[in-house]
Structure formats: structure tokens, C-alpha cells
Amino acid sequence: MISPALTDALASWLDHARALDGAAPNTLTAYQGDVLGFLAFMTQHKGAQQGLGPIADVSIRDMRSWMSHERGRGISARSMARALSAVKSFYKWLAKREGFEATAVLSTRAPKFQKKLPRPLSEDAAREMITTVEMQHLEPWIAARDSAVVTLLYGCGLRISEALGLTGADVPLPDTLVIKGKGGKERIVPVLSAAKEAVMAYTRICPHPIEPDSPLFRGARGGALNQRLVQKVMEKSRLQLGLPASATPHAMRHSFATHLLTAGGDLRAIQELLGHASLSTTQGYTAVDSAQLMDVYNRAHPKA
């Protein structure tokens, strides 16, 4: 149990994160779950209801007990680091508002974990994926729809939610699209002719009227296309192509970035195209490119 005052404080912090930081709904849900889990542990750990007073007295030992408990439950180092980040963010905001010292919480170190590198497809595999996706449905307009969506993921580096968020007002596709990504941040994305043509081929035969305020990509019954349908058609295609389980819709976005980098693209420019808030996120693709280079070296070098 946590006190009403602390409950109100948590709600205010989430409102702050939503309004000022532009946190996405899924992010806010994760924040709330992480902080509530922390507060629930502290209630049990200290044997008393947690309010604004008690929560300010959390010690380094308390923090270590919480992290040890979570790891004992099987929580991964990555998830633990995310939860700690949420708790720290809440404490930083709360300490400033309530005027207490939060050093014990803010100085707690996150567990180390190895960041997963993006797993892009090769250029040939990316092209084959687009072609194979179009062959999965007997209904021509649905086949054209699926091909258009996957072409946008690869050709423009869009997240699947961004592609499915396009409306009738976006067609015919212009030379550049203004995409609203995570946190409501906007970016400008060039549109390749192949993407324009794929979307146009779909809209010409789509049986549902595509109005300016309606979703561009439709399900069989005319509603907005569900992400899961795109995931399923790619699952079927990757099995036919013998590609790994990592060949997902998001892998097409990874492929877009990696192939641009391989062709000599500027890292800052790719950061802008992807809508990454931090360059360090984009730099993960540098590691991918280096890993691929070393793989070629190890397989081809005469002394390997």
C-alpha cells in the first residue's frame, strides 16, 4: 500500500512526463509499472505504508535489497536497468518538488548488460522479403498493401507504427514525408520512387475509399490495418526464404540504416532520418557494420 499523497505524486509525475517530456503511452505504462513495483517492494521490505516521508528515507542498502530481490525473481539486467532508470527519474522529480535529498537512489548503479546489436537483413534478403511478402495473399489488393507497407519500412526507415499511421491525406506520397515519431518528435523523411509506386499500386486497387482523414492501410474489412498482420505475413515469408527469426518488420528499418551506413551515409544524417534522440543509439549500426566487416575478413583472409 502507498499513501494517497504518494499516489497523487506518482500521477503528477506521469502527467509531467507526458506533457513536458513527450513520453509515449507505452513508455508511461512501463514507468508506472516499474515505480509501483519498487514502491510495493519497499512497503513489504520496511513493513509499513510508503508515503512522502518514508520514501525520502530510502537508503543505499534498501536499493540493493530491491535490486537483489528483482534479480532473484529472474528479472534480466536490461529490465532491471530500465526499472532503475524509471525510479531515478521519479525520485529526481519528487525530490525537487518536496525538497529532500535523493542521493542514495540517484547514485545507485545499474547492472551492466550487453546491448543487443540490430540484426539487419542483407540487401538481397531485404529485396526478396518485399517480393515474397507480395506473394502471400491471393487477394491482389491485400498483396499490394503488404508489399507497400514493407517497402516503406525498408525504403524510408519507418517504424511499423509510423507506416500504419499514414492517412489518405498523405497520398500520393510526396518527395518527403513529415513523420511524427516517438514522443511526438517530427522528422523529415525522403520518399524513394519505389515506395511511391508501391503505395500508388495499392491505392489504385484498394476496395475501400481512402479519405484524407482515414487510415491509408486497411484491413480486409476496411478498418485500420493491425500491426500483427504485417508481422504474420513477414513470419511466413522469412520461413519460405530461410531467414532467421530476427527478420521482423523492425529489421527492415535496421536494414535501411545499415545499408545507408555501408554505402557511406553520414551518421548524423542517419540519426535524423531514423528520428533517434541520441546519436549513441544510431552508433549501434556502426558496430553492426564493423561486425560484418570482421566476419568477411575472418572468412576471406588467407591466414584466417
Pick from 251, 280, 299: which residue ends a domain?
A: 251
Spatial neighbors of 246 by CB under 8 A, at least 6 apart, are 119
pLDDT at 113: 63
Q: Are residues 137 and 207 in the same domain?
A: yes
Task: Write out the chain's pLDDT in tens, 304 residues.
Answer: 678 888 888 899 988 888 766 677 778 888 899 999 998 898 888 877 777 788 888 889 999 999 999 888 888 888 888 899 999 999 999 888 888 888 888 998 888 765 565 577 888 888 899 999 999 999 999 999 999 999 998 888 888 888 999 999 999 988 887 877 666 677 778 888 888 999 999 999 999 999 999 999 999 999 999 989 999 999 999 999 998 888 888 888 878 777 666 555 555 555 555 554 444 444 455 544 444 444 544 554 454 4
Q: Are residues 72 and 157 in the same domain?
A: no
Q: Is residue 284 part of a domain?
A: no
Give catalytic status of residue 301 as yes or no: no
Give catalytic status of residue 159 as yes or no: yes
Q: Are residues 96 and 152 in the same domain?
A: no
pLDDT at 279: 41
CATH of the domain at 175: 1.10.443.10
Q: Are residues 63 and 129 in the same domain?
A: no
Locate all alpha helices (DSSP H) within 52-139, ordered by sequence.
52-55, 60-72, 77-98, 103-106, 123-133
Q: Are residues 190 and 164 in the same domain?
A: yes
pLDDT at 122: 81
Number of domains making up the chain: 2
Catalytic residue among 159, 218, 254, 259: 159
CATH of the domain at 91: 1.10.150.130
Give catalytic status of residue 285 as yes or no: yes
Give catalytic status of residue 69 as yes or no: no
Q: Is residue 140 part of a domain?
A: yes
Integer Cα distance of 67 and 45 in angstroms = 12
Catalytic residue among 16, 119, 127, 250: 250
Integer Cα distance of 166 and 178 in angstroms = 10
Question: Which phi-psi region, left, alpha or beta, contains residue 218 (left: φ > 0; alpha: ψ -120 to 50)?
Answer: beta
Q: Is residue 15 part of a domain?
A: yes
pTM flag (> 0.75)? no
Q: Are residues 128 and 242 in the same domain?
A: yes
Q: Is residue 63 part of a domain?
A: yes
Q: Is residue 297 part of a domain?
A: no
Catalytic residue among 31, 91, 202, 285: 285
pLDDT at 54: 81
Give catalytic status of residue 276 as yes or no: yes
pLDDT digit string, tens, across residues 235-284: 999 999 998 888 888 888 878 777 666 555 555 555 555 554 444 444 45
Catalytic residue among 218, 253, 254, 259: 253
Phi, psi values for residue 177, rounded to 5°: -110, 140
Q: What is the residue range of 66's domain?
A: 4-106
Catalytic residue among 78, 82, 127, 182: 182
Q: Is residue 213 part of a domain?
A: yes
Give catalytic status of residue 253 as yes or no: yes
Q: Is residue 256 part of a domain?
A: no
